[in-house]
Amino acid sequence: MPLNTIALELVPPNTDRGAEHARAEAHKVLRLSAEAGIAGRIGHVMIPGMIAEDDDRPIEMKPKLDVSDFWSAIHPELPGVRGLCTQVTSFLDESALRGRLIGLGEAGFDGVIFVGVPRPMNDGDGDGLSPTDALSKFDDLVQNRGVILIPTRDGEQGRFEFKCDQGAAFGMTQLLYSDAIVGFLSDFARVNDHRPEILLSFGFVPELESKVGLIDWLIQDPGNQAVAAEQEFVRALAASEPNVKRRRLLDLYQRVIDGVAELGYPLSLHFEAPYGVSKPAFDTFAEMLDYWSPPA
Question: Which residues are bridge partners to 115 per DSSP?
Answer: 88
Task: Please report, for the chain, how many H helices and E strands are present, in that order.
Answer: 11, 8
Contacts for 206 with CB less than 8 Å, ≥ 6 apart: 238, 273, 275, 278, 280, 281
pLDDT-derived band at 128, boundaries 50, 70, 90: confident
In a domain, 16, yes or no: yes
What integer is the mean pLDDT of 213-223?
Answer: 96
The pLDDT of residue 295 is 86
What's the one-letter identity of residue 200? L
Containing 202, the helix (H) or strand (E) segment is strand 197-203
Dist CA 38 CA 44 (whole Å)? 14
In a domain, 295, yes or no: no
Under the banding of pLDDT at 50, 70 and 90, the label for residue 116 is confident
CA distance 198 to 169: 9
DSSP H or E segment with residue 251? helix 242-260
Query: What SS3 class is residue 149?
Result: strand
User: What's the CA angle centered on 150, arms 146 and 154, to 5 degrees?
Assistant: 130
Please tell me the total count of domains within the chain.
Answer: 1
Give the pLDDT of residue 126: 58
| pLDDT (0 to 100) of residue 127 | 73
* 123 — pLDDT class (breaks 50, 70, 90): low
Q: Is residue 1 part of a domain?
A: no
What residue type is 201 in one-letter code? Answer: S
For residue 75, the one-letter residue type is H
Q: What is the spatial distance between Cα 219 and Cα 231, in angstroms, rounded to a whole number?
A: 8
Per-residue confidence band for 215, with pLDDT thresholds at 50, 70 and 90? very high
Query: DSSP characters for 206-230?
Result: -TTHHHH-HHHHHH--TT-HHHHHH
Query: Is 279 domain-assigned?
Result: yes
**CA pair distance 166, 162, nearest whole angstrom:** 6
Which residues lie closer than 8 Å to 158 by C-beta, 6 or more apart? none
Q: Whole-angstrom Cα distance, residue 53 to residue 51?
A: 6
Which helix (H) or strand (E) segment holds residue 33: the answer is helix 18-36
Predicted confidence (pLDDT) per residue in 5-25, tens digit: 999 999 999 999 989 999 999
Q: Is 251 within the bounds of a domain? A: yes
In terms of Cα–Cα distance, which of 138, 140, 94 is closest to 113? Answer: 138
Express each pLDDT in 159-211 by its tens digit: 999 999 999 999 999 999 999 999 999 999 999 999 999 999 999 999 999 99
188 assigned to some structural domain: yes
Enclosing domain of residue 277: 6-289
148, pLDDT greater than 60: yes
CATH number for position 242: 3.20.20.220
Which residue in 46, 50, 54 sits closest to 272, CA to CA? 46
Per-residue pLDDT tens digits for 80-112: 999 999 999 988 999 999 999 999 999 989 999
243: Cβ–Cβ under 8 A, 6 or more apart, which residues?
none
Compute the distance between CA of residue 25 and CA of residue 29 in angstroms, rounded to an integer: 6
| Residue 117 falls inside a structural domain | yes
Residue 294 lies in a domain: no
